[in-house]
Structure 1
Amino acid sequence: MSADALVIGGTRFIGRHLVDELLDHDYAVTTFTRGESENPFAEDDRVSEVHGDRTERDDLERARDAVDPAVVIDTCAYFPAEVEAATELFADVEAYVYISSGSAYDAPDVPMRENETPLHDCTPEQATEDAAETYGPRKAEGDRLIAAAAENGINAISVRPMLVYGPHDYTERFAYWTDRVAEYDEVVVPFDGDSLLHRVYVEDVASGLRIAAEEGEPGEAYNVADRNTFSLKRSLELAAEGLDTEVDIVEAGPTELADAGLEAVEFPLYTPSPAIAATEKLAELGWESTPPGVAVANAAQSHRANGLDGTENGPDRDAEQAVIDAVRGGE
């Protein structure tokens, strides 16, 4: 396919992989960013760029007019007002794809399904509040605006990723674990390590966004997550394989954690209840996910090569060692 695509965002994490995905499928790509982050495509003459603030309607309109895109993929719409403005400005494109989130769901369904599991409500106050607690409600309201736009004849589509991991992840959530696996022989996991927080490899998010733009139905939402979900403990085992090392995974119960002054929720990617999303709806459009071993190995190797350690995302090593000592002392 040869078409003009405008990526709102496009230089950091999901957007960076998305640009590569679009280029691999013969799109002419333009990124729209503030120009404050390093542009990995600066030397690639296949990628154009427009600078501006996506919260400013005039800037977004200028980007639209400069590109006249067939496809718009919005990686950084965090407030409902931004989604509403974008669906108005891009009302005539072949596809406007909004990145929502699995956090939009407001029920512990296992799995969470696009047309069945309820979404968060969003109050007017939440719609404008930039806080972690309002993230899910804001994304859910964006989903409702996508559905409303489609009812008005706009080719608007929503994609809901679960927690995203992979190369260039500036959050460094998974990097915490790859650093532990690479640096230490023993690594603590809360309880039995079977915590199931559904994740999705970033390259699979990119392909899912493209496929949703090409094959998705206006007004529909599509979950995107690893087709074969795996536990936190299995993540560490796969990371060790990818880094060609070995790790002894130490399972710590509430007593051992408490002795070190820790709680399970302090460990990144831990969830007390399974958070799983159904993925067959996107798969029916032809989307596939990367095998877990390949995805985790790529993420782990990239984090190590780029010096990402995620140390600020979880307990420090002294606390972890105290847990290990408590577990070993009780054996």
Structure 2
Amino acid sequence: MDHLFVVGGTRFIGRHVVAEFLDHGYEVTVFNRGTHENPFAETDDVTHIEGDRTDDGDLAAAAREADPDAVVDCVAYEPREVRTATRIFDDVDAYVFVSSGSAYAREDLPKREGETPLCDCTDEQATDDSQASYGPRKAEGDRAVFAAAERGVNAMSVRPCVVYGPHDYTERLDYWIDRVDSFDRVVVPGDGTNVWHRAYVEDVASAIRLVAEDGDPGEAYNVGDRRMVTLDGMVDLIADALDGTERGSGDVEVVHAGERELAAADLTLDDFPLYRDPPHMLATDKLAALGWESTPLAEAMERSVADHLDGDRDGREVGPDRGAEERVLGVLDTL
């Protein structure tokens, strides 16, 4: 394989996928609507085709023009889109659908490919664009991949847990970096032991490449950091990463707040980004068997913090405002 076709490719996961395949000698065609700045506009080995992936004619025309060896589908959010793509790209060496750990229906610890059941997906959910239907839609996309493989298509799936790293427009991690960078005391919901498995974005990109090159059609592969940390552990990693810059001292006081204390500021545990109850954990042994390794957590966080400091994202719109946190801290200080 030497020519990759990426559906998406300019924002977050797709951007890193393009960079990963370029680093390994591929030519890349990026297919999207062109509504976001193209970071590869001046890159010789990247071609851009503009079109709407929800328009079957646009996608089919782009496929004929590019004639790729492999396809990575970063922005298939409805099962119909996966069924269409696997039909259009039925003769490629690899079609990789970017699914999600949200596709799992049961809170196993850890969730395993082929063992933990997937979400059901109703006809209504299949075309609903709300967050509530995200997992069911991804699960149905996985089932479309499995069905395509049974027809002889070289289709596979990767299931990342929550992804973080440079160019993360969700700003979930940016919220925590901003808090540690800006304040001496940081409110952490619960007792700090909450676990929501995360995946560093460059590792997701390398996983996608390995699956495209060596994965088995009809298989799904979980992606997540090989070592997980609690919410407290994540804050510690951020503080340590900031300590290596001119901005941070690495000295932050973590203050835990339960439901009662948070209620004083009309907050709940779920108002804080990257908090999840029950815990979420994916098994990654199947992917590791392909030779995949994850970046050490400290190194991944250092890169994420550096990107945060270089950019203008602060995450303040995705979590509680500081005034609310100050009210919580005031309550805790009286106890």
Q: Does TM-score exceed 0.5, indicating one fold?
A: yes
| Matching of residue 281 in structure 1 with residue 263 in structure 2 | no
- Give the 3-state SS of the residue equivalent to 1:294 in structure 2: helix
Residue correspondence of structure 1 range 179-328 to structure 2 within 5 A: 179-244=178-243, 245=249, 246-328=251-333
Displacement of 1:322: 1.1
Distance in 1, Cα, partners of 2:62 & 2:2? 16
Contact 1:178 1:304 in 2 (8 A): no
Match of 2:140 in 1: 141
| Amino acid in the other structure paired with 1:213 | A
321-330 vs 125-134, greater mean Cα deviation: 321-330
Distance in 2, Cα, partners of 1:153 & 1:254? 52
- Give the 3-state SS of the residue equivalent to 1:312 in structure 2: coil
| Amino acid in the other structure paired with 2:68 | P
Displacement of 1:83: 0.2
Contact 1:205 1:224 in 2 (8 A): yes
Contact 1:114 1:221 in 2 (8 A): yes
| Amino acid in the other structure paired with 1:113 | R
Displacement of 1:261: 1.7
| Amino acid in the other structure paired with 1:277 | L
| Amino acid in the other structure paired with 1:172 | E
Distance in 2, Cα, partners of 1:254 & 1:100? 33
Distance in 2, Cα, partners of 1:162 & 1:32? 24
Residue correspondence of structure 1 range 157-168 to structure 2 within 5 A: 157-168=156-167
| Amino acid in the other structure paired with 1:218 | P
Residue correspondence of structure 1 range 68-107 to structure 2 within 5 A: 68-107=67-106
Distance in 2, Cα, partners of 1:253 & 1:96? 45
Residue correspondence of structure 1 range 35-46 to structure 2 within 5 A: 35-46=34-45
- Give the 3-state SS of the residue equivalent to 2:144 in structure 1: helix
Distance in 2, Cα, partners of 1:234 & 1:75? 30
- Give the 3-state SS of the residue equivalent to 1:158 in structure 2: strand
Distance in 2, Cα, partners of 1:122 & 1:254? 33
- Give the 3-state SS of the residue equivalent to 1:206 in structure 2: helix
Displacement of 1:64: 0.9
Where has structure 1 moved over 4 Å in runs of 4 or more? none
- Give the 3-state SS of the residue equivalent to 2:5 in structure 1: strand
Post-superposition Cα deviations, 1:270-326, rounded to whole Å, max 9, x if no partner, equal 012110000000000011101111111211221121021010111100110111121
Contact 1:194 1:233 in 2 (8 A): yes
- Give the 3-state SS of the residue equivalent to 2:323 in structure 1: helix
Unpaired runs of 5+ in structure 2?
A: 244-248
239-248 vs 94-103, greater mean Cα deviation: 239-248
Distance in 2, Cα, partners of 1:20 & 1:198? 24
Post-superposition Cα deviations, 1:43-90, rounded to whole Å, max 9, x if no partner, equal 111111100000111111111111111100000000011000000000
| Amino acid in the other structure paired with 1:321 | E
Q: How many residue pairs align between the two structures?
A: 329
- Give the 3-state SS of the residue equivalent to 2:53 in structure 1: coil
Match of 2:46 in 1: 47
Unpaired runs of 5+ in structure 1?
A: none
Distance in 2, Cα, partners of 1:13 & 1:130? 19
Distance in 2, Cα, partners of 1:24 & 1:45? 13
Contact 1:179 1:304 in 2 (8 A): no
Distance in 1, Cα, partners of 2:184 & 2:90? 55
TM-score by length of 2: 0.97
Output the aligned Cα RMSD.
Answer: 0.8
| Amino acid in the other structure paired with 1:288 | E
| Amino acid in the other structure paired with 1:85 | T
Match of 2:14 in 1: 15
Distance in 2, Cα, partners of 1:315 & 1:175? 13
26-35 vs 297-306, greater mean Cα deviation: 297-306
Distance in 2, Cα, partners of 1:36 & 1:260? 39
| Amino acid in the other structure paired with 1:197 | W
| Matching of residue 110 in structure 1 with residue 106 in structure 2 | no
- Give the 3-state SS of the residue equivalent to 1:194 in structure 2: coil
Post-superposition Cα deviations, 1:172-224, rounded to whole Å, max 9, x if no partner, equal 01100000010000000012111100010000000000000001000000000
| Amino acid in the other structure paired with 2:303 | N
- Give the 3-state SS of the residue equivalent to 2:317 in structure 1: helix
